[in-house]
Structure 1
Amino acid sequence: MSPINVDRIAHIVLFVRDPEASAQWYCDVLNMKITARAGDGPYKGGVFMSFGESDHDIALFKAEEGATKGKEFEHVGLMLKSTSMEDLRANYAFFNERGVEIAEILDHGVSVGIYFYDPDGHMLEVFCQRVPQAGGLSQAELNRNQGQADPTSL
């Protein structure tokens, strides 16, 4: 058995064109707070952000000039604390009010997610977990439905 026992994704670091502008977007759209700014050194100008308890959940570092960004990964999934579809609909309405570019809404059986883009083209997902993760229930359902992802509306 492997000694690795990952509990969750602790943080992600994104290269962005303008860390301060992107940080403001993450504050406005995802209700994050800035916890620190990088001083001197290779990450000078970087911004560290949190959803609440963590020292940082997302860090934003300045990309090199001319770098193609937004395609380093497929997407980052952000589980909402609430399991209410009404809360997910409220998130959707909020995104629309803010002019957030929505890619799609998918029903995975275990969850329903809104996929959207940040100002640098990184795709993110906020999702409502519908099948409990405890006791392996969500893993069993995802296996049963073979990871289906059907387009849906809210």
Structure 2
Amino acid sequence: MTGASDDVKPRIRRTHLALYVKNPFETAAWYKDVLNMVETARGKQWVFLSFGRKHHDIALIQADPDTLPPAPSELRGPINMQHYGLEIEGDMDELRRLYGMLLRKNIPIVKITDHKVGIGLYFTDPDGHRFEFFLETVHGDEEGKDVLNRHNAPSEPFTLTPL
């Protein structure tokens, strides 16, 4: 038997991300420096960070030291978060500036790709979590869906010159 409550669907207003890290206090410094986040709250084993519009967008939580692999690169197993995308404001020059900033800070770059709806610049945090600065180039939602379907959600290598 189905009722009206079975048809209820969530309408998401925004998201936030919570990550286990080796040391939330040291890692928070990286997020402040690289992603320009601000610390909004702190506990004994966690730090909340914001991009400046809400109370928190990313939570860094102390992982159990006994369950951590020996190196950050080993954190990404076959079943894990693939990446967390951050759509940037600005144009291609802004993406190039961000690329230059990552290189100057010796942030590991994973790849740069053309998704046909935008350009993605992938990098990792100190604990091996993968992030993407994303510059959207197709702005219409329906056009974007068409492009992704037509090109089979592409991830083609892209050359980006840093500024």
Same fold (TM over 0.5): yes
Q: Which residue of 1 aligns with 2:65?
A: 65
Q: Which residue of 1 aligns with 2:105?
A: 98
Q: CA RMSD of the aligned region, Å?
A: 1.5
Alignment of 1:3-152 (within 5 A): 3-8=9-14, 10-38=15-43, 44-66=44-66, 67-68=68-69, 70-71=75-76, 72-82=80-90, 84-132=91-139, 134-152=140-158
Q: In 1, distance between residues paired with 2:151 and 2:11?
A: 26
- 1:146 Cα shift? 1.1
Tell me the alpha carbon deviations over residues 51-90 of structure 1, each in whole angstroms, 9 at most, x when there is no partner: 11011110000010132363231111111122x1110000
Q: Which residue of 1 aligns with 2:3?
A: none
Which structure 2 residue ranges, 5 or more long, are not aligned? 1-6
TM-score, reference length from structure 2:
0.84
Tell me the alpha carbon deviations over residues 18-51 of structure 1, each in whole angstroms, 9 at most, x when there is no partner: 101100000101111101112xxxxx32000011
Which structure 1 residue ranges, 5 or more long, are not aligned? 39-43
TM-score, reference length from structure 1:
0.88
Number of residue pairs matched? Answer: 146
Secondary structure of 1:3's counterpart equals coil
> Percent identity, aligned pairs only?
38
Q: In 1, distance between residues paired with 2:141 and 2:82?
A: 28
